[in-house]
Amino acid sequence: MPTPKQLLQRLQIPLLTACDPLYAAGRRWFRLGTSLPQEQHEQLLMSRLSRLVRSFEGRGLLREPVGRKLTGADRFATLAEMPVLTRDGLRALFPRLVDRYRRRRGISVYCTGGATGEPVQFVFSRRQRRLAGGCVLGMYSILGWHPGMPRFCLWGREPGVRPAKPRGFRAYLRRRLQHTTVYGGYSPSEREYRRFIAEVQAQPGCAIFGLTSLIENCALMMREHDQQLPRGFLGALWTCSEMMFERQSRLIEDAFGCRPRRQYGSRECTMMAADCAHGNLHISPRYIIEAVDPDSYAPLPAGQTGSLLVTDLHNDVTPFIRYEIGDLGAVEWRDCDCGLRGPCLTELAGRTAGLITLPSGTRVSAHCFAAIMYLFPAVRQYQTLRLGPTEFELRYMGTELDTAARRRMEELTSDLLEGATVRIRPVEQLLLSPTGKLISYHEGAGAVGP
């Protein structure tokens, strides 16, 4: 029989929506945006975007008037005529945002994680966070979470540092009902992993999520100590903030007895897409995501991989309209067997900053090294560093490779990079971003590292 605390947790969504109308509005938007046919879905999103654009134009926060471009019968098609907001454009806009909202309450300044070496500042509102919270709860349900399910998180915060707690009754109620425990740091110790596993084992049916590399490390530690959770023990398991490859997925599933799903998001736009049980990466109806040519920004056909542009329909203080997020992917409409309708990310090829441009002009994704590393089980994690136009260093953590294995790895990676010089180097620590993300590819003088 459920305890009073468990009953309270199961009432999480009704209580939150009853106490906070913005949470309720976010929930309604999620349900509506994932149930409409394609034409009506696009009309709903463009109607919201038109109102948002007029608001930003009235505050003088857009480079040029674009509201007139959102008129006509097929307004979704005219989206491609609007200008693109790049990271440089956001940097240039930031002083105006600070000046505009200097005296407004409920506004905070935030910064991207800087995994690409390009941290950018922006602003968000407390109202926006509460409205987005209703959508986020819907996205969690896609990942397999339901109210009352405890969540354990392996994250990239500073060890021993507790995040500031928002004030107010609503914030207090959210904290009490979320039932989320955060573990980790930039590089969690084995002791931290052991505490994490012990807490999970004491809560059957709980949910686990966190950085892909941290959950992978936890799975490796469990394998080394012959630990394994029985299949069906976890209620849900998903990874975020980093790409997850098939080898990592199999390792995590073997350790935790649950197939991991993917969450796609960013600091700027939080949770943008979530994996359902049928393997479709559903885009939140809070966003419009386009795939465009990385050079010309011309729209690409459905299902074709390109640079992703994101429009945030709930951010009413920073105009994230056709914002170049820095990732590669493809978008296509899906009527999914899980019951949801809407656009999905059919491909997610990682960050554009992870593209290696060779002297010939050929561009290679840094994530393609995953296929080579799969041939070397001794490699736990790896990282590619560019030291010159045709000089690379591949660093790895794990059991040191013998001479034959190192030579084989050098040959395979050199062939992939059109004959470039590749040096293989074992290390004890790989380069991490300021938020603890593993940087799969880095180039320039700063790549020398540890």
pLDDT per position as a tens digit, 137-181:
889 999 999 877 888 988 754 333 344 455 565 555 555 555 678
Q: For residue 318, is pLDDT > 90?
A: yes
Q: What was the pLDDT predicted at 290?
A: 95
pLDDT per position as a tens digit, 249-300:
999 999 999 999 999 988 888 899 999 999 999 999 999 999 999 889 999 9
How would DSSP label each residue in 223-268? HHTT--PPTT--SEEEEESS---HHHHHHHHHHHSS--EEEEEETT
Residues with Cβ within 8 Å of residue 388, at least 6 apart in sequence: none
d(CA 154, CA 239): 9
DSSP state of 342: E
Q: How far is CA 62 from CA 52, 58, 211, 312, in A?
A: 11, 9, 34, 15
pLDDT per position as a tens digit, 386-431:
898 889 999 988 888 999 999 999 988 888 888 889 999 999 888 7
Q: What was the pLDDT predicted at 61?
A: 87
Tokens of 129: 């966070």
Q: Taking residues 124-144, what's their average pLDDT?
A: 87
At residue 80, the 3 state secondary structure works out as: helix
Q: Side chain identity at 194, as an amino acid letter?
A: R
Q: For residue 247, is pLDDT > 50?
A: yes
DSSP state of 143: T
Q: Which residue has the higher pLDDT, 175 or 101?
A: 101
φ, ψ for residue 187, nearest 5 deg: -145, 90
φ, ψ for residue 441, nearest 5 deg: -145, 135
Q: Which residue has the higher pLDDT, 73 or 188?
A: 188
Residues with Cβ within 8 Å of residue 104, at least 6 apart in sequence: none
CATH 3.30.460.10 fits 358-447, yes or no: no
Tokens of 300: 């690409």
Domains 4-350 and 358-447 share a fold: no
Q: Taking residues 50-75, what's their average pLDDT?
A: 73
pTM of the predicted structure, to 2 decimals: 0.77
Q: What was the pLDDT predicted at 214?
A: 80
Q: For residue 120, is pLDDT > 90?
A: no
Q: What was the pLDDT predicted at 161?
A: 36
Is the CB of residue 62 less than 8 Å from the CB of residue 85? no
Q: What was the pLDDT predicted at 73?
A: 44
Across 59-68, 286-295, 379-388, the highest mean pLDDT is recorded for 286-295
d(CA 47, CA 32): 14
What proportions of the chain, in percent to the nearest 5, are helix, strand and coil?
A: 35, 25, 35
Sign of the C-alpha dihedral computed for residues 416, 418, 422 and 427 taken in this order = negative
Q: Taking residues 325-330, what's their average pLDDT?
A: 88
CATH 3.40.50.300 fits 4-350, yes or no: no
Q: For residue 308, is pLDDT > 80?
A: yes
Residue given tokens 């989206």 in the structure block: 79
Q: How far is CA 11 from CA 8, 141, 186, 346, in A?
A: 5, 15, 34, 34
Q: For residue 353, is pLDDT > 80?
A: no
Q: For residue 381, is pLDDT > 50?
A: yes
Q: Round the average pLDDT of the chain to a whole number and report it.
A: 81
Q: What does R_g of the chain's alpha carbons equal in angstroms?
A: 23
Q: Where are the domains of the chain?
A: 4-350, 358-447
d(CA 413, CA 372): 8
